Amino acid sequence: MTSKLFTVGPVEMYSETLRLGSVQVPYFRTPEFSEIVLHCESMMHELVDAPEGSRTLLLTASGTGAMEAAVINLLGPSDRALVIAGGTFGDRFCEICREHEIPFDCIRLDPGASLHPGEIVELKLDSYKALLVNAHETSTGVLYDIFQLGQACRNAGTLFVVDAISALFCDPISMSQMGIDLLLASSQKALALPPGLSLVVLSPRALDAVRTRKVKSYYFGFQRYLSDGSRGQTPFTPAVGIILQLRDRLKAIQAIGTPALVHRTADLARHFRNSIENLPFRVFAETPSNALTALSPTNGSSAYELFSQLAARFKVIVTPNGGQLRHRVFRVGHMGNLATTDMDTVANALREISQ
């Protein structure tokens, strides 16, 4: 029996993506490759509803690299950020700000808790240059109200930075409608590509902020990427093979439409959650994302032990948690090349383990 990934990245890939991964990569300093990069940028802008005049940068880096690059290209020691932290990845924004001596305040939420509409309205954003948030806190499964947060940022004139690494193509994301100034995505989530490539989409407001910053980073300085990107190139060797796979996946998503892909992921999440209703688990997130279901055992079982049993007995690979949530929460992903029958496989395995 072959193991199957129900993780939150990397995820099960599609056959064409796997085929492209076996092909010799081309030399990339060519007009032909430049056209591929520019095509990826234009498709990305359409799929995330980026404002006119936006730019997309391709970084050969993990999502964390893109998070750090976004922070240091927008903010410096004379600025102040507000971070919403409801888990590991919200905390990561705080750690990045601290590492680069960028002043910040943190709205710290209990694991699994969301930020309610009334709390968003009461946010005092006028004194902050940017609000940093993970659209979906991957460690707990919580989806935040990005539309309302964006409205609050627009009212205050605050830059809105959204890590949509786990949410993109799983939950509705529109830069224009949600007032997002900088959007982060990574290859190994709903794009269903190998890890190693991140995308940063910058609105005209974010571009203005980037152009006034002097960044103390040779590799992550966005001004180099913007200059080279205008002709479809990158300042350093990119993940050439993943970019070829990216073009194929973006074309496939474009063909079915972003709403259809979001609807499909929502159906998988709904199907799975309905199928485990009578099992000894509760959905951990107060406002769950479509991308994954974070489950907490209600019968005293260890979440980490359940993760281990699923892998050993059924070749079902879900995502464990670390730290204080290690024995409380595990996560079942709904991203990538999965169907409702795959969700049934996980549910049946959980049913057998729970008996």
Give me the CATH number covering residue 267.
3.90.1150.10
Domain shared by 104 and 172, yes or no: yes
| Model pLDDT, residue 309 | 97
Six token digits for residue 17: 């993506």
Domain shared by 211 and 284, yes or no: no
Count structural domains, the chain. 2
Domain shared by 319 and 178, yes or no: no
| Model pLDDT, residue 84 | 97
What letter represents residue 13's amino acid? Answer: M
The per-residue pLDDT of the chain, averaged, comes to: 97
Domain's final residue, options 237, 256, 275: 256
Domain shared by 205 and 265, yes or no: no
A 10 A CB-CB count for 173 gives 23
Domain shared by 243 and 139, yes or no: yes
Six token digits for residue 226: 């913007």
| Model pLDDT, residue 121 | 84
> Has residue 190 got a pLDDT over 70?
yes
Domain shared by 275 and 340, yes or no: yes
Tens of pLDDT, residues 319-338 = 999 999 999 999 999 999 99
Tens of pLDDT, residues 120-130 = 988 999 999 99
| Model pLDDT, residue 355 | 78
Domain shared by 296 and 166, yes or no: no
Tens of pLDDT, residues 237-277 = 999 999 999 999 999 999 999 999 999 999 999 999 999 99
| Model pLDDT, residue 301 | 96
The helix (run of H) or strand (run of E) holding residue 200 is strand 198-202
| Model pLDDT, residue 122 | 87
- What pairing do the DSSP bridges indicate for beta strands 316-317 and 4-5? parallel
Domain's final residue, options 256, 285, 310: 256
Domain shared by 226 and 289, yes or no: no
Tens of pLDDT, residues 195-234 = 999 999 999 999 999 999 999 999 999 999 999 999 999 9
| Model pLDDT, residue 1 | 63
Tens of pLDDT, residues 115-164 = 988 889 889 999 999 999 999 999 999 999 999 999 999 999 999 999 99
Domain shared by 276 and 166, yes or no: no
Domain shared by 144 and 266, yes or no: no
Residue of 151, 157, 82, 143 whose CA lies nearest to 115:
143
Whether 287 and 269 have beta carbons less than 8 Å apart is answered as: no
**Residue 28 C-beta-side C-alpha neighbours within 13 Å:** 20
Q: How confident is the model at residue 165 (pLDDT cuts 50, 70, 90)?
A: very high
Q: Which residue range(s) make up the domain with 304?
A: 4-9+258-354
Domain shared by 176 and 95, yes or no: yes
Domain shared by 330 and 213, yes or no: no
Residue of 289, 291, 288, 276 whose CA lies nearest to 8:
291
- Looking up residue 241, the CATH number of its domain turns out to be 3.40.640.10
Whether 44 and 56 have beta carbons less than 8 Å apart is answered as: yes
Domain's final residue, options 256, 283, 316: 256
Q: How confident is the model at residue 168 (pLDDT cuts 50, 70, 90)?
A: very high
In whole angstroms, what is the distance from residue 323 CA to residue 124 CA?
Answer: 31
| Model pLDDT, residue 64 | 98
Q: How confident is the model at residue 61 (pLDDT cuts 50, 70, 90)?
A: very high
